Structure 1
Amino acid sequence: MILIFIVLILIVYFTYQKINSTGNWPNVIGTTYHVPFGDVPAMQACLDGHYLLNLNTKLGKPQVYRIWVGPTPVLLLAHPDAVRQFWQQHDETSIERVVHLGWSLLLIMGEGIGFKTYRNRNRINRFFHACFGIKQVKYFETSYEYQIDLVMQRLQSRVIDACDTPLDVSSQFRYLALDAGLDMFLGTKSSRYLSQLHELVDELAVVMLATFNARYVNIPGLRWFIPYTYYLRSKILTLRHKWNNLLRIIMNEYLREDNIEIDADGDSILVRYLRMERIGRKKEITYEELSDTMIEGLLAPSDGIAATVANTLILLALNPEAQIEARERILNRLPPGIEKTVTLTDLDHLDHLDHILLECQRLLPLFVFNVPELTSCKMTLCGVTVPKETMVMYDVQTLNRCEDIWPKPMIFQPERFQLLNEKQRKALHGFGNGRSRRCLGENFVHSLHKLLIARILLAYQLEPVDNERDIDKLSRIRRPFIYVPRVVLKFIPIKN
């Protein structure tokens, strides 16, 4: 028994040494590997999302540094120069996207676009951009405007009922992304299933949060001996079953029509797919890719878009001069002396509202790191040489606060985006990174955010409840892979 115990100790010791050696890259600094999950428990326990930001400061603000995701060493890029050097050397077309982020996340996302290889991602991108391109998004502006009308009506009722009591801003926009995106994704026939779709959004949030918190169930082999594995797997499969059943019901409603073969500019993604099937055209995507990318693009973003709007309102409330400036710019776009509801057409080319969104994403990013990349070759980044297939991620908060890139980085200044230099343009990553890793709904989010912020600013003066001005001290709560504000604001109606 003693001999077996000694052998086991030696196996553990040499395994630990071997794992550590995989991250001993020349000139790198960072954390030490802690068995078995590395830095993951500390990131999960950090409720404000500042773990990487604080770690970078503790390490002396290096431009690159190492952390551990389980037994895998990860190089964090913490300066735009490191990001630029990475993309100069990295060939994303040559990498098969095999990033192990846990079986449960892969089971949720399935054949969705997020974890596809370069070529497959581009193929799916081309199909979805039939609705998501800049020109195509305009066909659905009436739908966005209608949904924001409903949001403003609910907000007005809440403000009246609250009687000057502050409101929790993020909760006001819980289903905005799904409601506004329905016509684009599923078409007008899907509106009668709105309550079921809202339930799916809530169920997805639950399983995504469970996936984010998962530890031992992600250890190969060991997970099959843990009862929670089977519970989580059952919850995910039940969610997927409900979604696919509902999607098939909506599909059958369209298939009963005779005119589905006729192209129309405002066709939804679902109708375009069904037309492709009916006329026997070569399939651009499979049903599984369609269904799973809709989970990723329609159901999953609800918390993220709600938090982005809430963050914007918080920053405007904390900066009353910026709020007044934005309101005046919007009013200048409207005909004088005529009472009307502002539309997206009124806001065409009002870049200042887009700049507010970019500044919001810079100061209060939802994601503290991006979807990982694997290096396509051996490369040197800011003096640190890493081998091929090293996992690389962005330290998003630190990147967004580099003083040599963003002067006075902690000040809310949307105007800084009017004239960007080359380094600043390369430092923008609010909607993804690389050539093919862009967010599918970027144009959709810009339109939705611009119109909603404009409507709110014309109707309400926003005021914070307390005197806290340090955005790092604002209350935040963790949602699946993102951090959202838990802040209340006063919505004071503007007369005339």
Structure 2
Amino acid sequence: MASIFLQVLALLAVLYILQELHNKFMKKKKKLHPGPKGLPIIGNLHMIGKNVHQDLHKIAKRYGPIMSMRFGVVPIIVASSPHAAEQFLKNHDLVFASRPDNKAAQFIAYNQRNITFGKYGPYWRNIRKLCTLELLSTLKINSFQAMRKQEVTNFVTFINQAASNGVEVDVSAKLASLNANMACLMVFGKKYVDDEFDERGFKDVIQETLILAATPNIGEFIPFLDVFDLQGLTRRMKKLAKIFDDFFERVIDEHVHDSKEEKQTKDIVDTMMNIMQSGKAEFEFDRRNVKAIMLDLLIASMDTSSTAIDWIFSELIRHPKVMKKLQNELNEVVGMNRMVEESDLEKLVYLDMVIKEGFRIHPIAPLLVPHESIEDCTIDGFDIPKGTRILVNTWAIGRDPEIWPEPEKFMPERFVGSNIDLRGRDFQLLPFGSGRRSCLGLQLGLTIVRLVLAQLVHCFDWELPNDMKPNDLDMTEKFGLVMARAQHLRAIPTHRLENILGISNEQVE
């Protein structure tokens, strides 16, 4: 035992000496961006806690908007300003278009076969093209409009009953359930209850996946420690990978069995199976590829939209004047005799301001998904070596006082007369990323966020339970690739529209 301990100490000493020599060589050869000095072996890992985005924001205040760090042996660049984000996501987009290797990509994403974690290259470009033209086209998204309307009506019906009974609603849980139903119907063609996926349900498994994927993995940054799996991340990811794979295999088998049935609206798995069986894909496209894309679509359509609505609606409850102003707009555009339709959304100007402000202060992906440089590059006179990992801190950008006056305040009016949009052209606001790796589901995601949020505000008034004041609402964040609320939002609805579902509220009661 003592012998092994001495061998480990000797190995660490050798690694330390080699690293110091490497660092001195790099400093002579490369001019790196300013950043904090790292410790031997671990680099700057000791500076990072549970809320990585907040920790990086604090450090960047000292070292600048483009900051150089080192996590173990991996060079890191943190971009914390619109100018910095533009450099990486637009001006040098191709150089930083790839993704780093990580355990989540290996075990859960079928060895980087999906769009989110895929390495940049011919395969990734073909997969993206297939998704853009076949799976997430405007025509395909519009084909699910009747389904979205029905599911939103079911959602409102549930809340309407709660309002009649005067009971509180776990808004976070109901939003998760609504988005799970819509995601399953669009992607798989039918609803699956939580138990058919896993005993913990869709939301908990997906949230664990996103948290693990965003957690700095010591084994990845200090390779000789990888075999020990000190944080248990690899073990947990393998378990999650089996849950997803077993479920996806069952879904594909069901589609193969039912392939002869005529469907009025083909779901996304139907479309992918047709492509796979026809052989018309210009690249290898088998079950692994289908499952990898299913993973992307399931997580993106199920978790990101519900999380965004959760945060924005929480801010509306905390700011009754903003809520009232939005309700007034809905009164004028929609009226008090019906629910909001998708055709109304383009006319709701203040709703769009509320959503932009929500994305600014609560970005869905606080560090986006990490990028990786595929070759050496120079930005603003500083060198960035090949293989550097890029973290774009959208959470910090949204709180930059030089760009956003009073950044901690929720003020949708800051967007009055502004041309800033959400499509990645304006680097002050990047909820869906920008450039080659921007989110393909932007149109669908925005439609769902706008539609569901509008129903919550238009159909009901809300108050917090137990005489809680709006300012007392817990807004603690839970860090992950998608940043969720740490605590569920619970609130009590009351009827606002008299004839919300074609029957009077008295009949409901």
Please indicate the TM-score interval, normalised by the length of the shorter structure: 0.7 to 0.9
Partner-residue secondary structure (3-state), 1:50: helix
The residue number in structure 2 matching 1:294 is 294
2:89/2:434 contact within 8 Å kept: no
Q: Secondary structure at the match of 1:45?
A: coil
| 2:280 corresponding residue in structure 1 | 281
**Cα 1:333–1:139 shift into 2, 3 Å:** farther
Structure 1 equivalent of residue 397 of structure 2: 399
| Kept in 2: contact 1:78–1:395 (CA 8 A) | yes
Deviation at 1:283, TM superposition (A): 5.3
In the alignment, structure 2 segments of 5+ residues that lack a partner are 499-509
Query: Which deviates more from structure 2 when the two are superposed, residues 228-237 or residues 393-402?
Result: 228-237
Cα deviation for residue 229 of structure 1 reads 7.0
User: For the Cα contact (< 8 Å) 2:212–2:480, is it kept in 1?
Assistant: no
Distance 1:469 1:153 in 2: 29
Determine the structure 1 residue equivalent to 2:239.
235
The answer to whether structure 1 residue 125 and structure 2 residue 124 are counterparts is no
* 1:213 positional shift: 4.8
Q: Deviations over 1:333-363 (max 9, x none)?
A: 22x57x2232212334434323322221111
Give ranges in structure 1 of 5+ residues lacking alignment: none
Structure 1 residues 440, 12: CA separation in 2 closer, same or farther (over 3 Å shift)? same
Q: Within the alignment, does 1:255 sit opposite 2:259 as a pair? A: yes
Following superposition, the deviation at residue 214 of structure 1 comes to: 7.0
The answer to whether 1:75 aligns with 2:80 is: no
CA shift, 1:23, in A, is 7.4
Matches within 5 A, 1:358-437: 358-382=356-380, 384-417=382-415, 418-420=417-419, 425-434=426-435, 436-437=436-437
TM-score with structure 2 setting the length: 0.80
Q: CA deviation digits over 1:9-57, x for unaligned, max 9? A: 651331331464587563633233245544456544339x522222223
Give the 3 Å change call, closer, same or farther, for CA 22–430 of structure 1 in structure 2.
farther
Q: Is the alpha carbon distance of 1:108 and 1:444 closer, same or farther for their aligned partners in structure 2, counting shifts above 3 Å? A: same
Aligned AA (1:70): G
Q: Residue 29 and residue 440 in structure 1: after superposition, are their counterparts in 2 closer, same or farther (change >3 A)?
A: same
Q: 2: distance between equivalents of 1:296 and 1:331? A: 37
CA RMSD of aligned residues (A): 3.7
Give the drift of 1:381: 3.5
Measured in 1, the distance between the counterparts of 2:293 and 2:139 equals 21
- Deviation at residue 457 of structure 1 after TM alignment: 0.8
CA distance in 2, matches of 1:205, 1:88: 30
Structure 1 residue 99 and structure 2 residue 100: aligned? yes
Give the conservation status (yes or no) of the 8 Å contact 1:201–1:300.
Answer: no
CA change 1:209–1:485 in 2 (3 A) is closer
Cα offsets for 1:169-192 (capped at 9, x unmatched)? 4233223322112332122xx336
Distance 1:95 1:224 in 2: 29
Q: Structure 1: how far apart are the matches of 2:143 and 2:226?
A: 47
Q: 1:234 Cα deviation (Å)?
A: 4.4
Contact 2:300 2:441 in 1 (8 A): no
Letter of the aligned partner of 1:75 in structure 2? I
Change (3 A) 1:208 1:367: closer
2:88 to 75, 86, 89: 86
Shift in Å, 1:390: 2.6
Return the match for 1:142 from 129, 132, 146: 146
Task: Assess if the C-alpha contact under 8 Å between 2:372 and 2:387 holds in 1.
Answer: yes
Q: Aligned residue for 2:116?
A: 114
Which residue does 2:59 correspond to in 1? 55
Q: Which amino acid aligns with 2:117?
A: F
Q: CA deviation at 1:275?
A: 2.6
Match of residue 180 from structure 2 = 178
Q: 1 CA distance for matches of 2:187 and 2:24?
A: 47
More off after superposition, 65-74 vs 299-308 = 299-308
Partner of 1:443: 443
TM normalised by structure 1 equals 0.82
d(CA) in 2 for partners of 1:405, 1:76 = 18
Displacement of 1:448 after TM fit? Answer: 1.0
* Amino acid of the structure 1 residue aligned with 2:51: C
Q: Alignment partner of 2:182: what SS? A: helix
Question: Quick one: structure 1 residues 237 and 168, their matched pair in 2 at CA, closer, same or farther if it must change by over 3 Å?
Answer: closer
SS in 2 for 1:179: helix
Q: Is the 8 A contact 1:370 1:432 kept in 2?
A: yes
Q: Which amino acid aligns with 1:148?
A: V
Query: Quick one: distance in 2 between partners of 1:402 and 1:386?
Result: 24
Structure 2 vs 1, CA of residues 253 and 328 (structure 1 numbering), >3 Å: closer, same or farther? farther
Match status 1:26 vs 2:31 = yes
Tell me, yes or no, if the aligned pair for 2:104 and 2:212 is still in contact at 8 Å. no
